[in-house]
Amino acid sequence: MKFVLSDDQRDFAASLESLLAASDTAAVARAWAAGDPAPGLTLWKRLAEQGVTMLATEATPVEVTLAFEALGKYAVPGPWVESAAYLPVALGHEVEGIATLALPPHVPYALDADIADQVYVGTSPAASVGKRVGSVDRTRRLFEVTGDGESDPAAFDLAVLATSAQLLGCGERILTDSVTYVKQRKQFGREIGSYQAIKHALADVRIALDFARPLVQGAALGAVPASAAKVACADAAYLASRTGLQVHGAIGYTEEFDLSIWLTKVRALVTAWGTPAHHRAELLATLVGA
């Protein structure tokens, strides 16, 4: 099977790329993490005008993955998976404003419940919003919530797929920034990118991302389980983050350096919407017919 985007899909992806590239999303993410959601809410409105929030009900999972890969590539903060992937499918319509949810056990806390217009537990409104819980990703503002609600399997799979696409976008961004860095950083009079060990490490990341992408595309078309995409994208993005940190050195993990935004986001998304162990077990059960 050959996967080829249509002209409309390529135009949509290009329009998102253009919007996000001009939006200084690193500054938006830092402001969000510091408790100033205003720049992020402005960007949310612009992306909603581009149609991102209606993709789950008005388009196909292919467009959803294109949008979420872009959101990952530019580290756009906010409960996008909840508002634009899970809830529209679970509720059967596009949600008004910004919505978030918890879905124990795989989504134990509600992301950005303090700024959301609607907070759910599963498909039911939350009874209450509790205290904030820390995350390795400072842009992920997690809150305890109470309430009872059911899970929607189709919505959960789309949320898993959207998270996979975010991881793929994060991995691509880390690899791009790492390649740029190793072409500039010099040691012993040579660009460090000229050393074979670094070339091989970055090539391994490129291969991992290239092997993960077809699983995202296949899951978007319903040809493979969403769990397969999540496992592959989590592994590839985590490899990208480890390699990116290795080639940058300690500076890569400092808050002042933009790369840290993507490193911590990958670490958080690896376990978001189901841990690797959960998705491997789901994939195994699918393969053996259990």
Q: Which is nearest to 185 in space by CA: 241, 252, 240?
A: 252
Confidence category of residue 55, pLDDT binned at 50, 70, 90 = very high
Least Cα distance to 30 among 245, 259, 261 occurs for 261
Are the CB atoms for 261 and 29 separated by under 8 Å? yes
Distance CA 154, CA 160 (A): 10
pLDDT-derived band at 194, boundaries 50, 70, 90: low
Considering only CA atoms, which of 27, 63, 41 is closest in space to residue 158?
Answer: 63
pTM for the complete prediction? 0.95
Instruction: List the domains of the chain with CATH numbers.
Output: 153-288 (1.20.140.10)
Longest dimension (CA), the chain: 62
Our separate counts of H helices and E strands in the chain read 12, 8
- How far apart, in Å, do the first and last CA atoms of the chain sit? 27
Structure tokens at 152: 């929607």
User: What is d(CA 215, CA 235) in angstroms, rounded to the nearest whole number?
Assistant: 13
Share of the chain above pLDDT 90, in %: 86
Find the mean pLDDT for residues 214-233: 97
Q: Which helix (H) or strand (E) holds 139?
A: none
- Report the chain's mean pLDDT, rounded to a whole number: 94
